[in-house]
Amino acid sequence: GGGAEMESVVSLFKTWLSVPKPKNSQELVEHVVEMMCIVQKFQHQMLRHGHTTEERSKGDAEWQQIQKAQEQLAKEIAQMRETLRKKGEGDGGQEYKTLSVEIANRKMMQLLVKQIGLIDFETKKDVARLFAELLKAPCPGGFTTQYIIDNFEELVGVLLEGYRLVEFSSYCCGHMIRECIQSSDLTKKILYSPFLSELFVAAQLEQFDIATHAFVTLQELLTTHKKTVAVFLDEQYDTFFPKYTELLTSANYSTKRQSLRMLGTLLLDRTNFNVMIRYISDEGNLKLVMNLMRERSEAIQLDAFQVFKVFVGNPDKQEPVLAILRKNHVKLRQFIANNLKADPTDDEFKEDRQAVLDEIEKLATEHPPQAAAAAPRPAPPQAEAPAG
């Protein structure tokens, strides 16, 4: 039964620990791969018998073997990082090439990523650092950007799916994904992959640290390689922005605020001009931003105003957008003049606010509301727009 299976796993750990210490990169990678295969077996058996790792009695033989194996794994990952550090010394370059090629050939990183939930936190961090260091010093046939593209689902896919799993550690997943984002080719691959939606899900989770890490990663993804992102947003506008709207209406205050700020950044970036025009021509987006300006949080009100001013400043407004601005011109001017207060020394904000107030007033006077259209009248009396 289960006891015998567990014993066999324990004996595997014991055997693994008794093997002579690896002498070179090839043996080192081989040893780590064997270890991860045992961990996988152990995990399957624990799950089959309804245990979680946390439930194990710290005193039992299996637990002790696992702890020893964890310590040995940590040493071996650290040894690999040491090989990386010495790549410029003596024959360190050749040893490093062997290491990178072996890691790629034996799919070591795939095994570590898949089982990262079972590795202790410090070793997780070392795995993330090793991942980053290998990418920073690519060698032909080794662990490179192209290798990650070729093994995308087993590496980046698993990391993105793992974001929402607490035991995966959003810190370590994020570290590795953000390293991938340094490459425009990998950025493109992530943007167009079905795994992108995992970041949107993770950014809305209640666990603050996971949501925060996921959003930072999403932000880096959308702002590092601007031309790649501009083409993506243009081509995938209809699938991307409904997902983005979920962030803007999220119950998570931090996610809502950060995504609103980033929307302003994206729309005001010249690279995204086509996307900006499309976004501010949609009256649904205008309504969303007007609602965000009415939020109780002053910070969100001010961030929403930064997006609202782009709608108002558009010299070529679409008719439905014009209709909303004209219909609400009195309320809008009162609200902006009375409620939006920034730092008194912020002259740029004051100028923006005045420009928006002037433009809304101009719209109302150029085309009076329908009811008054029969007899042209001068501008509405000042009483309707309280002094700011």
Distance separating alpha carbons of residues 255 and 247, to the nearest angstrom: 6
In a domain, 244, yes or no: no
Instruction: Give residue 59's pLDDT.
Output: 52
Examine the fold and report which residue of 129, 161, 191 is the final residue of a domain before the chain moves on.
129
Residue 76 has pLDDT above 80, yes or no: yes
Distance separating alpha carbons of residues 17 and 386, to the nearest angstrom: 79
pLDDT bucket at 380, cuts 50 / 70 / 90? very low
pLDDT tens digits along 224-233: 999 999 999 9
Residue 374 has pLDDT above 80, yes or no: no
Separation of CA 239 from chain center: 17
In a domain, 279, yes or no: no
In a domain, 169, yes or no: no
Q: Which residues contact 35 (CB under 8 A, 6 or more apart)?
A: 16, 69, 72, 73, 76
pLDDT bucket at 57, cuts 50 / 70 / 90? low
Examine the fold and report which residue of 129, 155, 186 is the final residue of a domain before the chain moves on.
129
pLDDT tens digits along 229-281: 999 999 999 999 999 999 999 988 999 999 999 999 999 999 999 999 999 99
pLDDT tens digits along 113-156: 998 888 889 999 999 999 999 999 999 999 999 999 999 999 99
In a domain, 383, yes or no: yes
- For range 338-357, the mean pLDDT: 88
Is 29 within 8 Å of 73 (Cβ atoms)? no
In a domain, 299, yes or no: no
Is 275 within 8 Å of 234 (Cβ atoms)? yes
Residue 166 has pLDDT above 80, yes or no: no
In a domain, 70, yes or no: yes
Examine the fold and report which residue of 75, 104, 129 is the final residue of a domain before the chain moves on.
129
| Number of domains the chain is built from | 2
Range name among 6-15, 57-66, 326-335, 369-378 with the lowest pLDDT average = 369-378
> With the CA atoms of 333, 335, 339 and 340 taken in that order, what torsion angle do they form, in degrees rounded to the nearest 10?
-50
Distance separating alpha carbons of residues 35 and 70, to the nearest angstrom: 9
Mean of all residue pLDDT scores within the chain: 87
Residue 1 has pLDDT above 70, yes or no: no
Reference 200, options 245, 253, 166, 157; nearest CA is 245
In a domain, 246, yes or no: no
- The model carries a pTM of 0.85
Instruction: Give residue 365's pLDDT.
Output: 87
Q: Which domain, by its residues, includes 325?
A: 311-388
In a domain, 306, yes or no: no
